[in-house]
Amino acid sequence: MASEKAITLLRQRICDSSFVYSAFRYSSNENYSKLKFLISNTISEACNNSVLLLGPRGCGKGAIVDLVLEDLKADLPEVISVVRLNGLLHAEDSCAVKEIARQLCVEHNLLFSKTASLDDNSLFMIDMLRECGLAHKTIIFILDEFELFTQGKQRLLYSLLDAMQTLSSQSIVIGISCQLDVDQLLEKRVRSRFSHRKLLFIPPSTEDINRLLEHILYLPKDPSFTSNFVDEFNSNIESILSDKRFKEIIDSLLVVDSTISSIIRYLYQAIGFMYCKSGSLTLADLKSALLCHQRQPMIDKIHDSSILELYILVCMMRLESREQNSYNFNSIMKEYKAIQDAYKTSDNYSKIVCLRAMEHLLERELISFTDSRTRSLSIEFRPVRALLSYQELHQGLNSHVSCPAILQKLLDHESYK
């Protein structure tokens, strides 16, 4: 089936970050060319360098580095060796040095000793830096989640940067962080050894996004597809991309989160909808994917709640609107009984049942206890608070399938009684 094959291809493309970001390879993407120039310059001039890549999450910092390295490895084989560290895993010095030693061993076909001490490993690292410098080989250190390396004594950063200054080594330190002022976290001795090169990554512009969409969605003229199918598929995509309604969808997406990763996530969901019908991509698919993408968890939770649970939520809101700062199950129960006495609804349940309903609300995380430590107090007396706003509850009640009208009235008119 041609269409199924097309969908598989699209999915593969979306999951493969190197393909996604290769859209920016030959374009005028500044960061890509800057980084590439910087690294290749460092290699050719046989010096040391350091750079920080900064920008919000999901803007392709790591992917651009990968692209650059891939290109350089193709251009200059045997000259580059890469060491990758992640702040989440290697924030501890001993752990980081060990990992560096391990990766260098793998890279240069040496035997790695697991029992080597921290000193052994750091000596080995410095030796390797010197040897590689003499052999005109460049070691590139990529430190992801750079801000986590600045915790503690920063011994690793210091020894790396210090070695780069004193030894005749050839290495580049690339720090990747989403914290824009991460260089302020560096110690003085580290900062003075750091070259203050920074590349700032920003969310893509509209043109970039259009290019990205075209790059991902158009099928290639490939012998595996019949040219007829490719033409048909691509013309359909073209009509969608130029559609005004599609532009609206993309706009509403970008208002919330304009990073590349959010767009990629959205596209993946849209293609998931397409798979159900196994036809071509339609605007309806894109729209339902948008709804899926922009779920409101609080509203969903309200829709899942039973009527009694809604009563308790409304009681809590009424108490809150009366500026009663602290309340617990007993005060909610008092309010509930007052409502039941006034209206004689069919939803008059005993205290135990209401207590259990409140436990359900706690499990749903619509409400929570305000205190954390007094475990000894039984649930009835522990103060609670609502985790949703009045507006959310209002919206949720309005769109609830079987919400009794009286609940909405009780919520709207706080003094209604």
Partner 1 sequence: MIYLVFDNVELLRSWERSSSIIRLLFRLHDILKIPEVGIIYISSSSPDAYYSSHGSIEPLTVYFPDYTLENLHDILLISNQSNPKLFSTFLSVVLKPFYRVTRRVDELSVSLQPLFLKYCEPLSDQILVPDEAMKRRLFDNLQSHLVASLNNLFMVPHWSSHQIKSDRECSKKRSRKSGSNELDFHMSMSMKYLLLSAFIASRNPATLDAALFDSSGCLSNRKRKRSSMTSMNQKDNMAEEILLKGPGTFPLERLLAIFQCIAHVGETMAEDEQIENCITAEGGSVGLTSDVLLELSSLCIANFICKGGSCPIEGSARYRCIIDEEMAVKVARSINFPLSSYLYRR
328 contacts partner 1 (rule: CB under 8 A): yes
Nearer to partner 1, 56 or 218 (CB): 56
Q: In degrees to the nearest 10, what's the CA dihedral of 219, 224, 227, 230? A: -20
Q: How many residues bind partner 1 (CB under 8 A)?
A: 52
**Binds partner 1 (CB under 8 A): choice among 47, 167, 355, 406:** 355
In the region spanning residues 171 to 190, those forming contacts with partner 1, defined by CB under 8 A, are: 178
Q: How far apart are CA 4 and CA 7, in angstroms?
A: 5
| 301 in contact with partner 1 (CB under 8 A) | yes
- Please state, in angstroms and as integers, the Cα–Cα distance from residue 31 to each residue in 35, 130, 262, following that order: 6, 30, 20
Q: Which is nearer to partner 1, 234 or 262 (CB)?
A: 262
**According to the binding rule CB under 8 A, does residue 326 interact with partner 1?**
yes
CA distance 39 to 82: 12
Give the N- to C-terminal CA distance of the chain in Å, as an integer. Answer: 64
365 binds partner 1 (CB under 8 A): yes
Which residue number, 128 or 298, has a Cβ lying nearer to partner 1? Answer: 298
Give me the numbers of helices (H) and strands (E) for the chain, helices first please: 20, 7
Phi–psi pair at 199, nearest 5 degrees: -115, 125
User: Strand 171-177 to strand 49-54: parallel, antiparallel, or no bridges (unpaired)?
Assistant: parallel
Q: How far is the CB of 303 from partner 1 (least distance, A)?
A: 7
Contact stretch for partner 1 (CB under 8 A) within 51-59, 101-109, 120-128, 160-168: 51-59
Quickly tell me which residue has 């969908």 as its tokens. 7
Identified binder of partner 1 from the candidate list 86, 121, 138, 171, rule CB under 8 A: 86
**Closest separation in Å from C-beta 94 to partner 1:** 18
Residue holding tokens 């803007």? 59
Q: Are 273 and 249 in contact (CB under 8 A)?
A: no
Residue 408 interacts with partner 1 (CB under 8 A): yes or no: no
Tell me which of 243, 353, 385, 416 binds partner 1, using CB under 8 A: 353
Euclidean distance between CA atoms 45 and 368, whole angstroms: 61
- Output the smallest distance, CB 365 to partner 1, in A: 5
Helices 390-399 and 405-412: crossing angle, nearest 10°?
Answer: 160
DSSP state of 387: S
Between 81 and 86, name the residue whose CB sits nearer to partner 1.
86
From candidates 349, 362, 408, 414, binder to partner 1 by CB under 8 A: 349
- When binding is defined by CB under 8 A, the residue of 4, 8, 15, 238 that contacts partner 1 is 15
360 binding partner 1? (CB under 8 A): yes
The DSSP call for residue 345 is -
Residues numbered 256 to 285 that lie near partner 1 (CB under 8 A) are: 261, 265, 268-269
* Least distance from partner 1 to the Cβ atom of residue 330, Å: 4
Residues 293-329 as b or e (16 or more Cβ within 10 Å = b): beeeebbebbeebebbbbbbbbbbbbbbeeeeeebbb
- State the nearest-atom distance from the C-beta of 194 to partner 1, in Å: 23
Distance CA 303, CA 310 (A): 9
**Binder among 352, 391, 405, 415 for partner 1 (CB under 8 A):** 352
Q: Does 73 bind partner 1 (CB under 8 A)?
A: no
User: Binder to partner 1 among 303, 337, 369, 408 (CB under 8 A)?
Assistant: 303
Interaction residues for partner 1, span 217-256 (CB under 8 A): none
Residue 338 is a binding residue for partner 1 (CB under 8 A): no
Q: Which residue, 89 or 283, has its beta carbon nearer to partner 1?
A: 89
The H-assigned helical ranges of 135-174 are 155-166
Beta strands of 21-177 (E only): which ranges? 49-54, 80-86, 138-144, 171-177
Q: Which residues bind partner 1 (CB under 8 A)?
A: 15-16, 56-58, 62, 86, 88-89, 144, 178, 261, 265, 268-269, 292, 295, 297-298, 300-301, 303-304, 306-308, 326-328, 330-331, 334, 347, 349-350, 352-353, 355-357, 360, 363, 365, 374, 376-383
